[in-house]
Amino acid sequence: MQFPVWSTMPQGDVELIENEVRWGILGCGDVTEVKSGPALQKAGRSTVAAVMRRDGEKAKDYAVRHGIGKWYDDAGSLIADPDVNAIYIATPPSSHAQLAARAFGFGKPVFVEKPMALDLAECDLMIDAAQKANQSLIVAFYRRALPRFEKFRALVEEGTIGTPRVTQITQLSPRSAHPDVAWRLDPAEGGGGMFFDMQSHTIDWLQFVFGPATEIRGLTARQAGDYLAEDFVGFTGLFGDIAVTGTAAYTVAETLEDVTIYGEKGSLSMSFFAHSPIILKLGDKTEQITVPDPAHMHQPFVERVVAHLIDGAPNPCSGEEARRVNWVLSEIYGK
C-alpha cells in the first residue's frame, strides 16, 4: 500500500498563552502520579490549576496530595474553569477525541496522552477541531525529549554504527507482568491491548528519527484468550529506508524488551520501557553508555510544550505527526 501524504507544515500562527500555562488535568490516574503530573508542576512557567476524575473523592485525594487547589468529578466543569488555560488529557484513548473537541470549543490548547485516539477518523476529528479553534494539539510522545533517547538518536545520526539498515523491536512478558487494567485490555477502550498502548511510543520514535513508515505488514492473535485484546503482535515495514521488524508477546514465560538498530559497522540497543544503558557493539568490542532518566519522565517534553504554548516554539509532537502512529497501528491491526 502506498503511504498517504499528510502535511506536516505549520498551519499558521496559533493563539499563544501569556506568562504561565495553567493546566487542567482530565483523568488523574497512574500516569499522572510521577511521570506527568509533577512534570506539569515543576516545569518553568507551568502549574496545575485543577484536576478531574469521575470519582470525586479520588480527584480530591490526588489534588490534596499534590498541592492542587481545585478538583472536579465532571470534565465539562474543569474545561470551562476560567483559571485553566490549557488541558492535559490523561484518560483512556476512547475519550480523547471527545474531550479534545470540548476543550477546543472553549478555545484552550490540548496536550493529550498517547496513543492519540482509537483510529484515524478520530485523529482527523481532533486535528480539524484544533485548526478551527486556532489552537495547538500536542501528543505526549515524550521519548522524543528524554536525554537517554536523544543520546541514542545522536549515536545513530553521527554514524557511530555506519548506515542503519535494520531495527528489531522485541517485547516479551508473562501474563502476570501486566495487571488487569481494564481499558488496556479492551480494544473498545484502549484500541488494541498492551501493544497499542506501549509500542505506539516506539513507532513514533522510529518515525521521528528515520522518517515516515511504509509497507507495513502485521499479524495479530489472541493466543491465551484471557482478554479481548490481542496478546501477540508481529509486524514488518520500512521506516524511511530502515527495515523494521517487531515481535510482542504478552503471555510467555520470558521477559525481554529492547530495540536494536543494526548498521553497516555495528549495532546499538537499549530498553525503551525500563532504564538501561545503551549497548554499542563495534566488531568484537562492546561499550555501555549510561544516561540517567529524569525523576519525572514527561518533564523534558513538557518544557518543550510550554515553550511552544508561550513562546511559539515548534510543536514537539503535532496531531499530524501522531496520526502517523495511528496509521501504522491501523495497518498492523488491519483496521
The residue among 233, 206, 208, 204 whose CA lies nearest residue 335 is: 233
In this predicted model, what pLDDT tens digit does every residue of 173-208 receive, in sequence order?
Answer: 998 887 667 888 999 999 999 999 999 999 999 999
Number of structural domains in the chain: 2
Strand 232-239 to strand 213-221: parallel, antiparallel, or no bridges (unpaired)? antiparallel
Could you tell me if residue 12 is inside a domain?
Answer: no
> Does one domain contain both 127 and 31?
yes
Supply the CATH number for residue 118's domain. 3.40.50.720
| Segments forming the whole domain that contains residue 241 | 147-289
SS3 content of the chain, % helix, strand, coil (to 5): 35, 25, 40
3-class secondary structure, 41: helix
- What pLDDT was estimated at residue 2? 30
The phi and psi torsions of 76 (rounded to 5 degrees) equal -60, -40
Read off the pTM.
0.94
Could you tell me if residue 325 is inside a domain?
Answer: no
> Does one domain contain both 176 and 47?
no
Supply the CATH number for residue 263's domain. 3.30.360.10
- Give the integer Cα–Cα distance in Å for 292 and 272: 13
DSSP 8-class letter at 331: H
Could you tell me if residue 231 is inside a domain?
Answer: yes
Could you tell me if residue 249 is inside a domain?
Answer: yes
| CB count in 10 Å sphere of residue 149 | 22
> Does one domain contain both 197 and 98?
no
In this predicted model, what pLDDT tens digit does every residue of 258-317 receive, in sequence order?
Answer: 999 999 999 999 999 999 999 999 999 999 999 999 999 999 999 999 999 999 999 999
- Give the integer Cα–Cα distance in Å for 200 and 220: 15
* 115 prior amide bond cis, ω within 30: yes
> Does one domain contain both 72 and 136?
yes
Could you tell me if residue 74 is inside a domain?
Answer: yes
Residue 125 CB-half CA count within 13 A: 17
- Give the integer Cα–Cα distance in Å for 94 and 170: 27
